[in-house]
Amino acid sequence: MTAQGFLWVLGAFLLALGLLIVIHELGHYAAARLCNVKVLRFSVGFGRPLWMRRCGRDGTEWALAAFPLGGYVKMLDEREAGVEGVAEHELPRAFNRQSVGRRSLIVVAGPLANLLLAVLLYWFLFMSGVEEPRPVFAAPPAGTLAAEVKVGAGETARAVSGTPVNTWTELRWELLRRVLDRETVVLETIDARGHIAVYRLEAGRLDSAALDVDVMQALGLHLLRPDLPAVLGTVQAGSPAAAAGLQPGDRIQGLNGRVVSSWHELVRGIRESGANPIELDVLRGERALSVRLVPEMVEEKGGKRVPRIGIGVRDDPELRKSALVTVRYGVGESLQRALTQTWEVSVLSLRMIGRMLTGELSVKNISGPVTIADYAGQSARLGVDHYLRFLALISISLGVLNLLPIPVLDGGHLMYYLAEVIKGGPLSERVMEIGQQIGFALLFLLMALAFYNDIIRLVSN
């Protein structure tokens, strides 16, 4: 990865992380203020503060700390007040003096703020309109479920088990939900002549290893991409293509001595080359050129590393119109769809966590900050709408993760409060201390696994 590419990925990641942390902690902060609990510090990050400022009638410290993977809202609490304790007149504003209901509201407000952010982002996207690929299939690879039932190249998906789909993203979502349940997927398609076909894909035949990759790849369903001419539309600054002198408007006519007649053939040739040097035959206006370069290996979804040279195809409005569809809804329907999407993604996240705990899904699906940063950079390059969709997905993941009943997480505190209601009084400090130790151990193991997966993805080819 070039220095510029690294800075782009880092910037997109830090922006996403900072926004999601601030929204989460603002949820806690707003609920605390609503319950008249005094907030001592609002911190983005952990550790030594790099920047701090006091403001507000309570003199709340607003801080930016050195370790950015998280944040916290510190409230007035007798258990953490030290030797001096809490002043008599401020006891009613101490967190520990609040009712179970108020404490639960303050704790749950953080994850709810993340889920609300996702709703707002989806709402905006559905109203403004999102350009998506039409769900048109390429020829399925031999040996896949789609090939067995003879899904035809050029057919367009209309519905999955009775649910209409208009875009490739909607198709992928509906298939993922049903494949996780090992359902028999009923796929309805229509071809260019208007002939409707119905296929039954026995998803239960897929083994757990197949579910570790993209669900579409596991089923053998691939997007049919327009056969564009191999003409460069963009050349990324700092990329191997830019270093070799390639320019927008260049037509690639050959790769390592083989004739290239389409963009698809060019991409396939670059992928087949791996990290080996490639030689391109280029036509620039009337002048023929020969360009030699070495692809850069980058990681794509699923952890596979592929060669990239940093070029983009020249846009063809007519082909774009035939290959893409803009999905846009009114204010009311957009809100309904945003709420439904947030709910379904949240439930799916919980189900996938459950499947990993039972061994039905591999823990390789757990991603750490390196992979998330890479996805942030990729989505930002694709455009604002893709980046906002990435933010919504990560915000839901953060909200759901914090609601898990693990001590030190928000869900762990809610578990304590439930036990307090059942017991008729607060749990002993010893029990809570043991719970905290268990929670920290679980989080450490989770973070270690996530970092391990990141490293494996980085070193694998």
Nearest Cα residue to 130 out of 415, 389, 427, 330: 389
Other C-beta atoms closer than 10 Å to the C-beta of 433 total 12
CB 172 within 8 A of CB 162: no
Other C-beta atoms closer than 10 Å to the C-beta of 206 total 17
SS (H, E, C) 112-152: HHHHHHHHHHHHHHHHHCEEEECCEECCCCCCCHHHHCCCC
Distance of CA 351 to the CA centre of its chain: 16
To the nearest 10 degrees (0 to 180), the angle between helices 331-357 and 168-180 is 40
Nearest Cα residue to 20 out of 292, 317, 397: 397
Judge residue 189's burial from the number of C-beta atoms within 10 Å of its C-beta, 0-12 exposed, 13-18 middle, 19 or more buried. buried
Distances (CA, A) of 18 to 40, 367, 370, 373, 425: 20, 18, 15, 12, 37
* Tokens of residue 130, six digits: 């999102």
Q: How far apart are CA 208 and CA 221, in angstroms?
A: 18
Q: How far apart are CA 374 and CA 300, in angstroms?
A: 9
Active site residues: 25
Indicate if the alpha-carbon torsion angle 374, 375, 378, 383 is positive or negative. Answer: negative
- Residue 323, SS3? helix
Residue 85 Rama label (left phi>0; alpha psi -120 to 50; beta):
left
Written as one string, the DSSP assignment of 231-278 is: BEEEE-TTSHHHHTT--TT-EEEEETTEE--SHHHHHHHHHHHTTS-E
Nearest Cα residue to 251 out of 242, 261, 241, 243: 261
- The full length of the chain comes to 461
CB 106 within 8 A of CB 413: no
